[in-house]
Amino acid sequence: MANTASFKAPPAAEQDAVFQAIKRFLENRTGGVFTQPVELSTPLMNSHLDSLTVLQLMMFLSDELQFELQEDDFVEEHFGTVGALVARILARRGAA
C-alpha cells in the first residue's frame, strides 16, 4: 500500500467511510467467510469469496457510496487487499 500514499492524500474521513462500507459488507453479508475483523490488509483475491460475492460487494458499494460501476473497476490489482480497493474507490470518486 506504500504506492498509494504517493497520490494526493484523500481526507481521512472519506477514506474511513469507504473502508467501513467494505468492512460492513464483508463482515455481514458473506455468511462467515471473514471470521476475523476486516482490516486494510485483509486479502480479497486470495480469499474464499466467489465471483458472485465480489459482484455483490461492488454493487453494494456503488449503491452506498453513489458511484456508477465501470469496466475498469473490476481489475484484479484493485482487489489485492481491502486497502487496495479503498484506494481505487477513492480515486474513482475523486475523478468523478
Partner 1 sequence: MSPVLLHELLSGCADRDDREAIVDGERTFTYAQLRQDVERMACRFVASGAIRGDRVAIFLPKSYHECVAIFAASRADLVFVPINSGLRPQQVRHIVEDSGANLVVTSSAMFGQVSDALHGLDPSRAIICADKPGESREIPPARSIGEDLAAILYTSGSTGKPKGVMLSHRNLLAGTRIVRSYLGIGPEDRILAILPFSFDYGLNQLLTAVEQRAKLVLFDFKMGDEIVRALARHEITGLAGVPTVWAFLTLSAPSLARTPLPHLRYVTNSGGAVPSATVGRLRTLLPQTKIYLMYGLTEAFRSTFLEPEEIDRRPNSIGKAIPECEVFPVREDGRRAAPGEPGILVHRGPTVSMGYWNRPDDTARVLRPNPLRPPEMGGDLVCWSGDRVVEDEEGFLYFVAREDAMIKSSGYRISPTEVEEVLMTTGAFRQVAVVGLRDEWLGQRLHVVGVAGTAPIETSAVLRAAAESLPSYMVPRSIELVNSLPTTPNGKVDYQRLVAERS
What binding mask, one character per residue, do residues 21-40 give for partner 1 by CB under 8 A, x or -? ---x---xxxxx--------
Q: Is the dihedral of CA 7, 9, 15, 19 positive or negative?
A: positive
Q: Can you tell me the distance from the alpha carbon of 88 to that of 19, in angstroms, rounded to the nearest whole number?
A: 11
Evaluate whether 28 touches 57 at the Cβ level (below 8 Å): no
Of 4-12, 14-22, 69-77, 85-93, which segment contacts partner 1 by CB under 8 A? 69-77
* Number of residues near partner 1 (by CB under 8 A): 26
List residues near partner 1 by CB under 8 A: 24, 28-32, 45, 49-56, 59-60, 63, 69, 71-76, 79
